[in-house]
Amino acid sequence: MPDYRVSPLVQELPATVPFVGPETQERNQGSLFKARIGANESVFGPSPNAIQAMADAASESWMYGDPEFHDLREDLAAHHQVESGNIMVGEGIDGMLGYVARMFLQPGDTVVTSAGAYPTFNYHVNGYGGKLEFVPYRDDREDLDALIQKATQLQARLIYVSNPDNPMGSWWDAQSIESITKQIPENCLLILDEAYGEFAPPGTLPPLDLDNQRLLRMRTFSKAYGLAGMRVGYAIGNAELILEFNKIRNHFGVGRVAQAAARAALKDQAHLQRVLTQVNNSLETIKEIAVENGLMPLPTASNFLTIDCGKDGAFAAALMQSLIGKGIFVRMPGVSPLNRCIRITAGLPEELQILAETLPKVLEEVRKSF
């Protein structure tokens, strides 16, 4: 018996992380990855202006960051044409998902999500004692109607939807999303995770509805803006709802350097556009590589490509492990039938070259055992 006493809730939780980091895998393997194309980061990097802003802010890092995120929220408000009171900043979407779980859940409350959807959300729900209920994907997309139906039936407190979706890269158009935002049951909040929103085709993100007190939209600087290591995300929503964060959030959670980086990145929309082009080109190349090897890429509205390997989860897992063993970091969905796929993030030309050379050899080996 340990000589301390955690809460009964924590006692029951497994000491696992939602994602094993590539660094952990590198340490385990005793070698570095040659291609880091597994975590949906942006290998194309942040804006040079953001890099300069971080360098400039570095010498000021003895100071805490502004706990109100005043300037960043003003910039974000102007960008989205809302008031700064409609925005709250936090330690990436991941951190903010934890805040929302804390704000809305008591132990035993029901939460509805899709089976195989973003696991960090589930991790936070478990941490606050929520009871997860899962809706299967339909045709590799989150089943919006079934999610609403289940939430209504079970009097859920939270519904989680990501659009575009991770891990499948699939998406719904704005009208479909808008339609469910009008059907959120009473006493329930829809978390609409738009981490990949910048990559989506026009007509994917519905207009902001700041009157809706049952909806929070989540955005991040980790993906298209290339600042995953800085940990900056934000929520957009009704001003009263946004104020609730102030009751529980870690006020100094987003550091000074990170706030400076986010401001500069947001200002450099030309860089963002260049990244979107690079991502598109890269995804086209990955598609070609997949098809040449007899695999089937799925449509995507994100910075990654989910590839149907044509067999079961064991086959996809073996393929993923073999790629990892050859220094190529990729991931795969965790739940059947999504786990027939592997997921590859847009990479640099040299990384894709390594993928193109390695995949046929690895596939040949893996196919022998299946």
Ligand X SMILES: Cc1ncc(COP(=O)(O)O)c(C=O)c1O
Residues that bind ligand X (CB under 6 A): 40, 92-94, 118, 162, 166, 193, 195, 220, 222, 228, 233
Strand order in the sheet with 296-297: 296-297, 304-308, 341-345
Nearer to ligand X, 233 or 313 (CB): 233
Closest separation between CB of residue 220 and ligand X, Å? Answer: 3
Closest separation between CB of residue 142 and ligand X, Å? Answer: 11
Backbone angles phi, psi at 278, to 5 degrees: -60, -40
Residue showing tokens 């609403």: 148
Nearest alpha carbon to residue 272 among 49, 11, 40: 49
Q: Residue type at 11?
A: Q
Within 13 Å, how many C-alpha atoms sit on residue 142's CB side? 32
Nearer to ligand X, 92 or 333 (CB): 92
Closest separation between CB of residue 343 and ligand X, Å? Answer: 10
> Element (H or E) spanning 135, and its range?
strand 131-135
Per DSSP, the residues of 31-52 read: S--SEE-SS---TT-S-HHHHH
Closest separation between CB of residue 3 and ligand X, Å? Answer: 34
Nearest alpha carbon to residue 12 among 126, 131, 130, 100: 126
Closest separation between CB of residue 252 and ligand X, Å? Answer: 17
- Going by their DSSP bridges, the two strands 189-193 and 158-162 should be labelled as parallel
Nearer to ligand X, 122 or 220 (CB): 220
Closest separation between CB of residue 216 and ligand X, Å? Answer: 13
Closest separation between CB of residue 118 and ligand X, Å? Answer: 4
Nearer to ligand X, 40 or 47 (CB): 40
Nearer to ligand X, 88 or 362 (CB): 88
Nearer to ligand X, 93 or 283 (CB): 93
DSSP state, 59? T
User: How many whole angstroms separate alpha carbon 71 and alpha carbon 62?
Assistant: 19
Closest separation between CB of residue 74 and ligand X, Å? Answer: 20
User: How many whole angstroms separate alpha carbon 9 and alpha carbon 11?
Assistant: 5
Nearer to ligand X, 54 or 93 (CB): 93
> Element (H or E) spanning 234, and its range?
strand 233-237
Closest separation between CB of residue 14 and ligand X, Å? Answer: 21
Nearer to ligand X, 155 or 250 (CB): 250
Nearer to ligand X, 98 or 362 (CB): 98
218, 191 in Cβ contact below 8 A? yes
How far apart, in Å, do the first and last CA atoms of the chain sit? 45
Residue in the shown chain whose Cβ atom is closest to ligand X: 92
b vs e for 94-122, b when ≥16 Cβ sit within 10 Å of the residue's Cβ? bbbbbbbbebbbeeebbbbbbbbbbbbbb
User: How many whole angstroms separate alpha carbon 271 and alpha carbon 38?
Assistant: 23
